[in-house]
Structure 1
Amino acid sequence: MRLDPTQLAAALNGPPAPVYLLFGDEPLQLGEAADAVRAAARAHGFGERTCLDADANADWSALDHAAASLSLFADRRLVEVRLAGEGVGNEGAKALRRYCDRGADDVLLLIIAPRLDWKTLSSKWAQALDAAGVIVQVRQPQGRRLQDWLRGRLTRAGFQPSDEALALLAERVEGNLLAAAQEIEKLGLLREPGPLSAEALLASVYDSARYDLFDLTNAAVAGDRARVHRVLHGLQAEDMAPPLVLWVLARELRKLAALGYALANRGDTGAVLREYKVPDSRRSATLATARRLSLTTLWELLARCADADLAIKGRSSADPWAVFVEIADGLADAASRPRS
Structure 2
Amino acid sequence: MRVYPDQLGRHLKPLQQCYLIFGDDPWLCETSRTQIYAQAKCDGFEEKIQLTQENNFNWNELVDEWQAMSLFSSRRVIELTLPQAKPGSEGGAIFQQLMQMENPDVLLIITGPKLAAEQTKSKWFKTLDAKGVYIPCATPEGQQFQRWLDGRISHFKLRLTRDAREMLFSLYEGNLLAADQSLQLLQLLSPNTEINSQQLESYFEDQSRFSVFQLTDAMLNNHQDKAQHILSQLKAEGVAMPIILWGVFKELTILLQLKSALETQQSLQSLWSKLRIWDKRKPLYQAALNRLTLTQIESLLCGASAIELKLKQQGIEDWTGMSHLCLLFDPKAHASLSHIELNE
**TM-score, L = length of structure 1:** 0.61
Alignment RMSD (CA, Å):
2.8
Q: Post-superposition shift, 1:201?
A: 2.6
Q: Which residue of 2 aligns with 1:256?
A: none
Counterparts in 2 of 1:117 and 1:198: CA distance versus 1, 3 Å = same
Q: Which residue of 2 aligns with 1:173?
A: 172
Q: Which residue of 1 aligns with 2:41?
A: 42
Q: Which residue of 2 aligns with 1:262?
A: none
Q: Which residue of 1 aligns with 2:199?
A: 200
Q: Which residue of 2 aligns with 1:148?
A: 147
Q: Post-superposition shift, 1:28?
A: 0.8
Q: Post-superposition shift, 1:164?
A: 2.5
Q: Which residue of 2 aligns with 1:312?
A: 232
Map 1:1-340 to 2 at 5 A. Answer: 1-12=1-12, 14-55=13-54, 57-203=56-202, 205-206=203-204, 241=206, 309=229, 312=232, 317-318=319-320
| Letter aligned with residue 95 of structure 2 | L
- 2-structure distance, mates of 1:43, 1:50: 17
Q: Deviations over 1:125-158 (max 9, x none)?
A: 1101111010000111111111111111121111
Runs of 5+ unmatched residues, structure 2: 209-223, 235-243, 245-317, 323-344
Q: Secondary structure at the match of 1:153?
A: helix
The question of whether the paired residues in 1 share the 8 Å contact of 2:178 and 2:207 is answered with: no
Q: Deviations over 1:199-241 (max 9, x none)?
A: 33334x15xxxxxxxxxxxxxxxxxxxxxxxxxxxxxxxxx54
Counterparts in 2 of 1:177 and 1:305: CA distance versus 1, 3 Å = closer
| Letter aligned with residue 70 of structure 2 | S
Q: Which residue of 2 aligns with 1:270?
A: none
Q: Deviations over 1:318-337 (max 9, x none)?
A: 399xxxxxxxxxxxxxxxxx
- 2-structure distance, mates of 1:181, 1:307: 24
The question of whether the paired residues in 2 share the 8 Å contact of 1:120 and 1:126 is answered with: yes
The question of whether the paired residues in 2 share the 8 Å contact of 1:21 and 1:136 is answered with: yes
How many residues are aligned here? 227
The question of whether the paired residues in 1 share the 8 Å contact of 2:175 and 2:207 is answered with: no
Q: Post-superposition shift, 1:89?
A: 1.2
Q: Which residue of 2 aligns with 1:260?
A: none
Counterparts in 2 of 1:144 and 1:56: CA distance versus 1, 3 Å = farther
The question of whether the paired residues in 2 share the 8 Å contact of 1:57 and 1:88 is answered with: no
The question of whether the paired residues in 1 share the 8 Å contact of 2:78 and 2:106 is answered with: yes
| Letter aligned with residue 158 of structure 1 | K
Q: Deviations over 1:58-107 (max 9, x none)?
A: 21111100010111113311111111112011111111111112111111
Larger Rg: 1
- 1-structure distance, mates of 2:191, 2:135: 35
- 2-structure distance, mates of 1:18, 1:142: 31
The question of whether the paired residues in 2 share the 8 Å contact of 1:160 and 1:196 is answered with: yes
Q: Deviations over 1:252-300 (max 9, x none)?
A: xxxxxxxxxxxxxxxxxxxxxxxxxxxxxxxxxxxxxxxxxxxxxxxxx
- 1-structure distance, mates of 2:231, 2:31: 34
Counterparts in 2 of 1:131 and 1:307: CA distance versus 1, 3 Å = closer
What is the percentage of aligned positions where both structures have the same residue?
30
Q: Post-superposition shift, 1:57?
A: 4.6
Counterparts in 2 of 1:62 and 1:193: CA distance versus 1, 3 Å = farther
The question of whether the paired residues in 2 share the 8 Å contact of 1:79 and 1:108 is answered with: yes
The question of whether the paired residues in 2 share the 8 Å contact of 1:57 and 1:89 is answered with: no
Q: Deviations over 1:285-317 (max 9, x none)?
A: xxxxxxxxxxxxxxxxxxx97895475366882
| Letter aligned with residue 10 of structure 2 | A
**TM-score, L = length of structure 2:** 0.60
Q: Which residue of 2 aligns with 1:213?
A: none
- 2-structure distance, mates of 1:167, 1:317: 27
Q: Secondary structure at the match of 1:2?
A: coil
Q: Which residue of 2 aligns with 1:246?
A: none
Runs of 5+ unmatched residues, structure 1: 207-239, 244-303, 321-340
The question of whether the paired residues in 2 share the 8 Å contact of 1:48 and 1:77 is answered with: yes
